[in-house]
Amino acid sequence: MASMMDSVNAVYAKWDRAPNGNSFSPSKQQYSADNVLANGKNAWKSKFKQLPPQPERRKTAKSATRRARSAVQPPVSSIVGAFKASPSVKPPYNSWARPLTGQCCSCMPISRDTFVYNAVTEMPDITNVLRLPELSCRHSKILSAFCNVTYTYRHTVRFGYPNITESVLRSPRSQLAVERTVQELLDQQGLPLDENSKAYKKEKKKCEGKLKKLFHIMNAMMSIPLFKITGWFLNTVLGALLNSVQVHNSQLLVLKDATLCGKPVVYLPMHRSHLDYILLTYILWHYGIRAPYVAAGDNLNIFGFGRILRSLGGFFIRRRLDKEVGKKDHLYRAVLSEYLEELLRRGQSLEFFIEGGRSRSGKAYYPKAGLLSIIVDWVLASRNETDGILRLDALIVPVGISYEKIIDGDFTREQMGMAKKPESFWSTVKAIWKLFSTTYGNVRVDFCQPFSLKEYLTVNERSLLSRSVSGLSPVTVLGNPRLQDSMQDLSKATPSNDLLTRATSGNSIYGIDISKEDEKVVIDALARHILYNSMCATAIMSTNILAFDLLSNYRRGVSLPELISSITKLRETILTANRDVGFVGQTRNVIAHACKLLGSNLVAIERNGAPVSWQDIYDEEGGDQVKITPNLSLPHVLELSYYSSSVISVFQLKSLLACSICAASGVALLDSSTEDQFSSVSVTKDEVVEHAIYLANLFKYEFLFIAPCKDLETELSNSFESLISSELILSPEAEDTFNEEAQQWTSRIARKAIYGFHEEELQDHYVPDKQYKLNEAEKDQFRRLSVLLQPMIECYWVVSCKLHTLLDHDQTMAELTKQIHQDLMLRVEQGITNYGECVAQDMVKNALHSMCNMKVTECYDIASEKMISLTDAYNSEQSLNEINTRLGSYRPL
């Protein structure tokens, strides 16, 4: 080996002695063995931000004897010797570049350019956090055998969690709430407000005791030892329940880097399971990121488990802030607001679910901005009165969570109109016991790019409706993205004359008041923006894509080869839409895995009419004869719809347009009897977009169609153009576009452009709208898009028909909801509708809520009952019939 290297160096020496006229002669310094190794290490370090790993060699007596007998020793600087002795090392990234999901919106350019790594945009990798890193325990075989315990013991948490008891109880806000409550109690007793009276002192002592009790019920008590115990427990238990917990390693690196800025971080995940509370804390603990304080409903504060959640950062809040309707609980509102703001002042992280509760339908719930308004109020309170600049800031991190199989909750019962079972100790024990009876596949957690709340408020405080971000220009951050000074550019933005200010009147639902209508709009838009980012970052799992394909394309069943082809194309479409999938491998294996998780009660697998197991799908010879059919009976179709819902968000705008084309054409395009009319249908773009805007407003509480900073009409127009580019819609030919009058008008424009013209001369002329036709070859694809929203259209149409009962008298919301649900169930049982998903209780409630939002109905409270009535504009048969007719135009028949 040494002689070989001598020969190589001799060649280098000959190159150095080459004639001076040879401009291509390499230098010895460039090609020496040591320099080649050094250059290679530097290139590796610049690309992967670390030196190449060195292989560990086991030192045994046998290997030592072999080395002693060897006459030739490879030199340390030998390139060839090192190449032969060292195994090839793979870079720490997957070979498949996944789409970049969760990126900040363009309306927040500074955050988008600040909290990002180049590695994220190049080739982000997927990591299973349940797979512990390799441990170096060469000196202890016992520690090597118990790697789980060893990892937990060595994984230290160095963050402090302060005691804020006195700060909250002695705050001016808390004391003011005590005074206000005492005054109300004395007024009820008809006593004067005298601070020296016995009644005043007695009531004040009671209020202070209640204030302290409310705080201790709410307060979280972080326990570092319990973090370690829980980490060990989850490493063991989750490994038995789940195949993997997948995260983007690069996303966590960006997040960890952002937490070094010293600003409090607020995590806002989508809510799918009770496991969400612990799962995020476990992932952050695994990556050495500060664990957040987690807002949990007081229904989880049950014996035993409540104490564990509290020790892991959970603080419990009421579902309803005021126990009595129409009477504000000033003490509770003050404790909640002060508790959150004090945590933010101490630089602690927070986590709460912006949807409020777990989704029963699989879709994102319309966000509730109560707790978010407290954080916005805390930032607005830091505004400098002189220059109007915000001094405080918080980082917002939307989080998307995907489960391959529902882990907890019997959502079909609630969707069928049955009452929710309250959580108890024994119900929790039974649920945990049930967990170990099956496997739940994979879980995917995506952390979106953090963005500055200060930046969002600075950009949007002028006027959200203008959707202008001209006040801020994108900032290019050079060098290390950890620069903490980059966000200081926000302070240079020119403040507007009409500034959002901190509210002080105490009229808001969650203890914070909105002093201006503009602030309500901004907070609501912020909440929807966060949820939209989370939804777009949520990965599509194997069960999602299978359920979606079966319900939208193959409700009557499909052969396995056709299903494989369809899902392969569907996966490519999802990836093209910049949405990620949470599975890899051959499509046949993906289908088998999804069928195993869904179970035989949701998906029937047959071969030649006889039921077979999901394992038969793996059989490449006999598997082609397999037929897979979804179970469309109630309540199983509701569970399939739950899995399917997350994929609908990928196609929701195109589905709006497809349904709008049906309405604009006046032809029931989903009816088999109109197949011969398909190619003759023609529509204009303006008509289709107008119908789509109406549907988008109608389904406001079902989907988030666009980010609040975008314009709906523009996005629909872009989607219409994409349908043209995909040849689903055929654009008219140039010679057929204009009629004779239009051609004369065009020629006149051309002449006037040369010789001059007056605008009033053209007032009586117009450019006719183009007539677009449907592509006969893409008929099946058009119908698939149209079917996606049909369950909602059916439900909303039945709701609009049932509003006629309000012409006679007002009803309670609960009574009307029950009647509508019974009508929908009857239609499904009698086969009048083919979409059993329309009976979902959440969908009925959203439809009634949408009618209130469109000013068709209005709600009011009587005692503890919520009543519903028709507004004056729709309190007639004619006006209600108009709504029924319009909604009916979107139905297939």
The model's pLDDT over 740-756, given as tens digits with 9 standing for 90+, comes to 555 555 555 555 554 45
What is the 8-class DSSP label of residue 671? S
Would you say 478 and 303 are in contact if contact means Cβ atoms under 8 Å apart? no
pLDDT at residue 733 greater than cutoff 50: yes
- DSSP for 844-889 reads HHHHHHHHHHTTSEEEEEETTEEEEEE-GGG-SHHHHHHHHHHHHT
> What is the rounded average pLDDT of the residues 59-84?
38
C-alpha to C-alpha distance for 716 and 710, rounded to whole angstroms: 11
Q: Return d(Cα 32, Cα 663) in angstroms, integer.
A: 75
CB-CB contact of 793 with 888 (8 Å): no
Residue 730 in tokens = 């055929």
Counting every residue written for the chain, the total comes to 893
Torsion, CA 456, CA 459, CA 461, CA 466, rounded to 10: -120
CA atoms within 13 A on the CB side of 810: 16
- Residue of higher predicted confidence among 554 and 500: 554
**pLDDT in the model for residue 743:** 56
- Angle of helix 636-665 relative to helix 790-802, nearest 10 degrees? 80
Q: Residue 544: its pLDDT value, please?
A: 96
Lowest mean pLDDT among 167-181, 481-495, 829-843: 481-495
Stretch 867-880: mean pLDDT, rounded? 94
Q: Answer for the pair 541, 500: CB distance below 8 angstroms, yes or no.
A: no
Distances (CA, A) of 612 to 204, 608, 634: 72, 10, 23
What is the mean predicted confidence (pLDDT) over 773-779?
87
Which pair of tokens denotes residue 737? 């576009």
Q: What is the DSSP letter of 772?
A: E
The pLDDT score that the predictor gives to residue 671 is 66
Per-residue pLDDT, 498 = 47
pLDDT at residue 107 greater than cutoff 70? yes
Whether the pLDDT of residue 20 is over 60: the answer is: no
Higher pLDDT, 245 or 489: 245
Residue 264 CB contacts under 8 Å (≥ 6 apart), including other chains: 343, 344, 347, 348, 349, 350, 394, 395
Q: Which two tokens mark 796?
A: 């909303």
The CA distance from 611 to 589, in Å, is: 19
Q: Residue with structure tokens 């057929």?
A: 736
The yes-or-no verdict on residue 739 having pLDDT over 60 is no
pLDDT band at 78 (very low <50, low <70, confident <90, very high): very low
pLDDT at 232 over 50: yes
Does residue 495 have a pLDDT over 70?
A: no
pLDDT band at 722 (very low <50, low <70, confident <90, very high): very high
CA nearest 824: which of 803, 840, 842, 848?
Answer: 840
Q: State how far Cα 646 lies from the chain centre.
A: 10
pLDDT score at 45: 60
pLDDT in tens, 598-657: 999 999 999 988 999 998 898 877 777 899 999 999 999 999 999 999 999 999 999 999
**Overall average pLDDT of the 385-394 stretch:** 86
pLDDT (0 to 100) of residue 116: 73
In percent, the amount of the chain with pLDDT more than 90 equals 42
Q: What is the pLDDT of residue 503?
A: 45
Phi first, then psi: what are they for 774, rounded to 5°? -85, 145
User: In the block, which residue shows the tokens 């009535």?
Assistant: 869
Q: Is the pLDDT of residue 670 over 90?
A: no
Phi-psi region of 288 (alpha: psi -120 to 50; beta: other; left: phi over 0): left
* Type of residue at 254: V
Name the residue among 355, 377, 378 with its Cα closest to residue 367: 355
Q: Is the pLDDT of residue 697 over 90?
A: yes
Separation between Cα atoms, residue 688 and residue 729, nearest integer Å: 12
Using CB atoms within 10 A of its CB, is residue 288 exposed (0-12), middle (13-18) or buried (19+)? Answer: middle
Per DSSP (E only), the strands in 458-602 are 558-559
* Confidence bin at 674 (pLDDT 50/70/90): low
pLDDT at 827: 94
Please name which of 656, 622, 644, 640 lies closest in space to residue 567, comparing C-alpha atoms: 644
Instruction: Indicate whether 175 pLDDT > 80.
Output: yes
Cα radius of gyration rounded to whole Å, the chain? 32
Q: What is the pLDDT of residue 357?
A: 85
Token representation of residue 617: 């799908």
Pick from 325-334, 339-348, 432-441, 695-704: least confident: 432-441
Q: How far apart are CA 397 and CA 267, in angstroms?
A: 5
Residue 496's pLDDT band, with cuts at 50, 70 and 90, is very low
Closest by alpha carbon to 208, among 170, 242, 241? 170
Best-predicted range by mean pLDDT (130-134, 516-520, 723-727)? 723-727
pLDDT at residue 584 tops 50: yes
pLDDT band of residue 564 (cuts 50, 70, 90) is very high
The token duo for 270 is 């989508």
Which residues, in sequence order, are CB contacts of 696 under 8 Å at separation 6+? 656, 705, 712, 716
pTM to 2 decimal places: 0.80
Query: Residue 201 has which token pair?
Result: 């002192």
Is the pLDDT at 376 greater than 70? The verdict is: yes
Which pLDDT value is given to residue 290? 92
Q: Is 831 left (phi over 0), alpha (psi -120 to 50) or beta?
A: left
User: Can you give the pLDDT at residue 864?
Assistant: 77
Determine the pLDDT at residue 742: 53
- The per-residue pLDDT of the chain, averaged, comes to 79
pLDDT tens for each residue of 339-351: 999 999 999 999 9
- Distance between CA atoms of 481 and 113, rounded to whole angstroms? 8
